[in-house]
Structure 1
């Protein structure tokens, strides 16, 4: 591949092949009638040596899926099971996506490029293996906003329109099609372990634990690698749950096949950002019982992690797993401090967890009582001083804020001179999509991505996904 720009930061490492073919199926990407580049994330691509690709090369690799040098020779559709709204489903797996490549970042982290909408696989069941263009646009917006707010998330790497007319029941059809590539710390899910437990596959369960420790978490297995791995998952998912709540984010479908064992948020369908602090706010129209409502997300994630413990019982005694599972709640409280203080521009971290939790309680209770917009509060309160227009009902919040010093930079970033905070509520998502759908006007999307990244710079959240 003489035309491939060999950047020193491109370090291919298809480590997943060490697991063996019991974990995946080699597949072929769909042959799309068109390939129109709509979004390329050069900021993410620079981390793995791919920002130097021309648009033609980009389309070769991320629309036609020509293998990257030294990487996976064929895409791999991963096998897994999962609880979907608490009902176990053994018929899952990558039905419209695959793992395309793995690279080492210069800090040693293993990153994967995986797809959504890349065609049929053995796990497609009755689906068409495709992604709507609107779904791809929504995922770009979700991941960019979450990254800016400091949530550990997969990142939308590429979005390419593919020229097929898709039929869908939940939006006007036929609708436009796309293929998305996401960059992630890995696509091993709780459901991956559930599948092995379902089949009683002890050998591959041990192999997967070792892979997750060595390749994904980058640690040496200890005396009890199963408990060691589970402890890492408990902590990383507790941190994810806390960051969702600070961001005001509702994932919508927190099934066990959508929980990555790295504690990295991914796979965005009916997501929403809550306009006000409403614990019952739901994102998915089909979540009739509110199982994954805004305020229930920490419990939902804990329930999913408990299912991982059940699966790991195949190769572990129960007491070490129970002991670590019981740490979820205190870890959640501890990990709430950093994202909350970051979003408020205050100095402090996990050592201030108890005081930060008191601040959190004051904020949540006042936001519920006043139904004040979440984004507006964090924008106005950045630096720790609420404007005079915030009345006496905010006095408890003022008192709690006074316990933390502001960051030295304060509100110096030009973002804080704007009249309105940068937000990502559903009306704006629909407006951005309408411009694309009606007029093929992509400028609102690109302008919004630029505004979100500016927000991230103002919050100092640029590297939170790492």
Structure 2
């Protein structure tokens, strides 16, 4: 049984200021018409000592962004570049968000409090710097579900409605506005390094490398900090890609400015969970070529990491970097096997057997007669626990190799949680997301969102082997 995170004292930090003004712009938050608290994540807040804030102070911090003493005196809009759908863009940066504060978590990690929809910055270009309320609700749902499924993700700490009417081309307008605050393991991106390489700023690249290695990975820069950091990024991004697949998740916009140097998933726009194991499934309506489709996410992330290698080649050997990058496919395969076994809730038996089991499951799911969520739910712990709507599908010959292989596996955790006796698994498909938003839009009714968050967290407890919470 995994222990619940212990409450922590509030420990503000301002480590990013050691980088100097060349890495960011000092900005001010928008002065919103109103601030109505819509979501506060006290479970995440407890990890940084903020769970006891009264709602009024919470709004002052996460709706008005009054500075925390001991952290950043004013917000910072970070500078970066990036490849967007493989086209290089040197004109981007934090355009509707900023780094609001840094804080130490109860596990010692340096975390960022970053925003989305907090107003215009020097990098807004022609944007209004705002976030739609629907976009904020969607990010709450994405981060809650991904965290439950074991994906290393930013968490939505707060969502505050701001009272403005926004006009957007991809949803009915005018629409309501909000500002969101994320709790993240750093906001430095691959695009942050690309910008410095574009400017031929070797000193900046070296400083940012040391900052990330020491402050984000907790490692003292040794004789070769560049390769040390790059190895961590390759390992972590391979794990990220694998975790997306095991979760059935499609990020939608895996541009290099959306890949954190910690490989923590973040920035959720047109995301989707695919019901079926469909490699060509896309999340973004504008991804006409399927560049970031479900089955191409590992390739996309690998490509982004290659851009980091190119940027770092200004201060390190490209041959050495390429040698590390060559390890990505094997790291991804191992991480995917581990992630699939974790979601099945079975103990590993050996590299060859585990790889075969996962291959059998992928081929069976590719027939698309059983949803991803249903299959993992039905076979949790390696054994069927009762009748399922998918029993006819499981009797098809394509499932036979998987059924034979999984019979030899042992459960890795208890299956006593009541969730495992539910008639169906908890899921987060697009029709469910829309059904949660509709009553908010029509009647300001938030009960469906609250119920879904409770259901997702209940599933998270079951997946972690924790008993039901009171």
* Structure 1 length-normalised TM: 0.95
Q: Which runs of 5+ in 1 are unaligned?
A: 1-6
* Corresponding position of 2:377: 379
Runs of 4+ in 1 over 4 A off after TM superposition: none
Q: What secondary structure, in the 3-state scheme, does the structure 2 residue paired with 1:162 have?
A: strand
* Corresponding position of 1:338: 338
Contact 1:336 1:357 in 2 (8 A): no
Contact 2:345 2:413 in 1 (8 A): no
* Corresponding position of 1:358: 356
The CA distance in 2 between the partners of 1:80 and 1:324, in whole Å, is: 24
* Corresponding position of 1:156: 156
The CA distance in 2 between the partners of 1:182 and 1:355, in whole Å, is: 40
Go from structure 1 to structure 2 and tell me whether the alpha carbon gap of 1:375 and 1:408 turns closer, same or farther (over 3 Å shift): closer
* Corresponding position of 1:442: 446
The CA distance in 1 between the partners of 2:300 and 2:57, in whole Å, is: 41
Q: What secondary structure, in the 3-state scheme, does the structure 2 residue paired with 1:211 have?
A: helix
* Structure 2 length-normalised TM: 0.94
RMSD: 1.3
The CA distance in 2 between the partners of 1:151 and 1:209, in whole Å, is: 25
The CA distance in 2 between the partners of 1:82 and 1:448, in whole Å, is: 35
Q: What secondary structure, in the 3-state scheme, does the structure 1 residue paired with 2:376 have?
A: helix
Q: What secondary structure, in the 3-state scheme, does the structure 2 residue paired with 1:228 have?
A: helix
* Corresponding position of 2:3: none
Q: Which runs of 5+ in 2 are unaligned?
A: 1-6
The CA distance in 2 between the partners of 1:354 and 1:321, in whole Å, is: 29
Q: What secondary structure, in the 3-state scheme, does the structure 1 residue paired with 2:162 have?
A: strand
| Structure 1 residues 132-159: Cα deviation after superposition (integer angstroms, max 9, x where no partner) | 0000000000000000000000000000
The CA distance in 2 between the partners of 1:355 and 1:93, in whole Å, is: 46
Q: Mean Cα displacement is larger for which, 273-282 or 369-378? A: 369-378
The yes-or-no answer on 1:347 pairing with 2:351 is no
Q: Mean Cα displacement is larger for which, 334-343 or 360-369? A: 334-343
Contact 1:79 1:93 in 2 (8 A): yes
Superposition pairs of residues 284-433 of structure 1, within 5 angstroms: 284-348=284-348, 352-386=350-384, 389=391, 390-393=394-397, 394-409=399-414, 411-433=415-437
Superposition pairs of residues 3-42 of structure 1, within 5 angstroms: 9-42=9-42
| Structure 1 residues 371-424: Cα deviation after superposition (integer angstroms, max 9, x where no partner) | 311111111111112457220432111122123211251x21100111111000
The CA distance in 2 between the partners of 1:457 and 1:209, in whole Å, is: 37
* Cα offset, 1:370, TM superposition: 4.0
The yes-or-no answer on 1:61 pairing with 2:65 is no
The CA distance in 2 between the partners of 1:457 and 1:343, in whole Å, is: 13
Contact 1:335 1:353 in 2 (8 A): no
The CA distance in 2 between the partners of 1:449 and 1:354, in whole Å, is: 38
Q: What secondary structure, in the 3-state scheme, does the structure 2 residue paired with 1:186 have?
A: coil
The yes-or-no answer on 1:223 pairing with 2:228 is no
| Structure 1 residues 73-110: Cα deviation after superposition (integer angstroms, max 9, x where no partner) | 00000000000000000000000000001111132111
Q: What secondary structure, in the 3-state scheme, does the structure 1 residue paired with 2:401 have?
A: helix
